[in-house]
Amino acid sequence: MNARRCDIAILGGGLAGGLIALALARYRPDLSLLIVEQGSELGGNHVWSFFATDTDHEATELLAPMIEASWADYNVHFPRHSRHLQTRYSAMTSERLDAALRAALPAEAILTQQAVKGCNETEVMLADGTLVQAGGVIDTRGLREVSHFTGGWQKFVGRKFKLKAPHGLERPIVMDATVEQIDGYRFMYALPFAPDMVFLEDTYYSDSSVLDRPALEARIDAYLAARGWEVEALVSEEHGVLPVVAGGDFSAFWRDGGENTARAGSRAGLFHSLTSYSVPDAVRFALALAHHDALDGASLKAFSAKWAKGHWENQTYYRMLSALLFGGAYPEERLRVLERFYTMKPQLIERFYSGRSTSYDKFRILAGVPPIPISRALGTITGLGRQPAPLTFSGV
């Protein structure tokens, strides 16, 4: 049997695992690391975005090498109003993450095209029979267990295009909800990476996890055509189905998701319950872990379990909002919920996305004239009315 040794083995080379590796390489250069990734490249095929107000200075420094483009402001569009918000918005790419990791780590610390057969807090058995013996193991291989949650889904297809002529966008469109409303709340997302380069993502807040990729690709093509944008080449594409969590049993999720190792990223439930945003939580966890004293297997496992439980508790308010969106509001009413939210003060919106809403923010979001009937909203909150369904992957 082949064997490898390291101080920290990180399973999964995506955003969460990559940021942990970068944080450890920066603050704990004495440790030997090993990233085990099933794919041929680190980071997969993704665009991750975040607001400047999501991160502090230390976190922004860690993310900087992965940023492909950054804009001083952004727009949103709804049927009843449009808005220009002056919050810096940045986009990172898988290619930049892969390059940053290869620059920060020795070649022997990166193992791609290798599946994990089994693991515990100090050992990893690879599919080729190699046994990795580590001081500690961290599993970041994505969300595996959702059956203990209730809620809905955020699903999307994103495509990056090189155009035949400049598109004319000066800043990102974070939400364009003037598009036809289909399958729940739908919006188009546009990032102008260069004057002739645009990333378009067709996104849905849906009750179903079924993703009809050809249909979404056709709708993206229609969006291009409606704006007179002619495509020279399709540069890249991605798709995803993410949970929007309204409630559930966290203890059961943790138990059934694998208690034998430390966990991070979506595998630990570290994402915003309503927006499914993962960057702020991924970078906070990575930095906290890098500054943690004890990094042996048992200590890592205890640290990640405590962190994840604390995050679940801190997300209680956002899960309630998810419940209102998927239980209190019918699919055709979700547009009004988001449209109203984007009339609020910019600072409230910023704190919402970062997961740091104040008590007043929470009151303000629910106060005033609601976009759904009060009786139905109260029924959802009290558990006596319409409730979100248990989450089950039904196909992609």
| 47-51 and 82-85 beta bridge pairing | unpaired
β-partners of residue 118 are 125
CATH number at residue 172: 3.30.70.1990
Asked whether residue 82 is domain-assigned, the answer is no
Q: How far is CA 175 from the centre of its chain?
A: 16
H-helix or E-strand spanning residue 292: none
The gap between the terminal CA atoms of the chain, to the nearest Å, is: 38
* Contact call for residues 27 and 295 (beta carbons, < 8 A): no
Q: Which residue's entry shows tokens 């990166």?
A: 110
CATH number at residue 119: 3.50.50.60
Residue 101 domain-assigned? yes
Closest CA to 175 of 66, 334, 369: 334
State the sign of the Cα–Cα–Cα–Cα dihedral 281, 187, 377, 384. Answer: negative
Residue 230 DSSP label = P
Domain boundary among 245, 266, 281: 245
- pLDDT tens, position by position, for the chain (396 residues)? 688 999 999 999 999 999 999 999 999 999 999 999 999 999 999 999 999 999 999 999 999 999 999 999 999 999 999 999 999 999 999 999 999 999 999 999 999 999 999 999 999 999 999 999 999 999 999 998 899 999 999 999 999 999 999 999 999 999 999 999 999 999 999 999 999 999 999 999 999 999 999 999 999 999 999 999 999 999 999 999 999 999 999 999 999 887 789 999 999 999 999 999 999 999 999 999 999 999 999 999 999 999 999 999 999 999 999 999 999 989 999 999 999 999 999 999 999 999 999 999 999 999 876 688 878 888 888 887 889 988 887 654
Structure confidence at residue 394 (pLDDT): 64
**Phi, psi (deg, nearest 5) at residue 168:** 85, 0
One domain, residues 105 and 221: no
- Tokens 């990102």 sit on residue: 172
Read off the pLDDT of residues 39-70 as tens digits, 9 standing for 90 and up. Answer: 999 999 999 999 999 999 999 999 999 999 99
Whether residue 235 is contained in a domain is answered as yes
What's the pLDDT at 369?
61
Q: Count the neighbouring beta carbons within 10 Å of the beta carbon of residue 229.
A: 19
Its sign, for the CA torsion 266, 269, 270, 276, is positive
Amino acid (1-letter code) at residue 60: T
Beta bridge mates, 6: 134
- Whether residue 40 is found in the same domain as residue 70: yes
Q: Is residue 351 located within the same domain as residue 336?
A: yes
Asked whether residue 396 is assigned to any structural domain, the reply reads no
231 lies in the same domain as 261: no
Is there a single domain that holds both residue 295 and residue 185?
no
Asked if 125 and 10 sit in the same domain, the reply is: yes
**Total-model pTM:** 0.96
Domain boundary among 195, 214, 245: 245
Q: Which of 137, 141, 139, 140 is nearest to 8 (CA)?
A: 137
In terms of domains, do 132 and 183 share one? no
Strands (E), 65-148: 67-71, 74-77, 82-85, 89-93, 110-111, 116-119, 123-126, 131-139
314, 336, 362 — which closes off a domain? 314
Structural domain for 52, as ranges:
3-76+87-147+248-314
Is 81 domain-assigned? no
Q: Are residues 8 and 35 in the same domain?
A: yes
One domain, residues 44 and 60: yes
300 plus 188 within the same structural domain: no
Main-chain dihedrals φ then ψ at residue 58, nearest 5 degrees: -65, -45
Q: In this structure, is residue 301 part of a structural domain?
A: yes
Q: What residues have CB less than 8 Å from 345, skipping those under 6 apart?
A: none
Do 16 and 91 reside in the same domain of the chain?
yes
- Tell whether 209 and 273 lie within a shared domain: no
Tell me how many domains the chain contains.
3
Residue 396 is predicted with a pLDDT of: 47
* Residue 167, amino acid: H
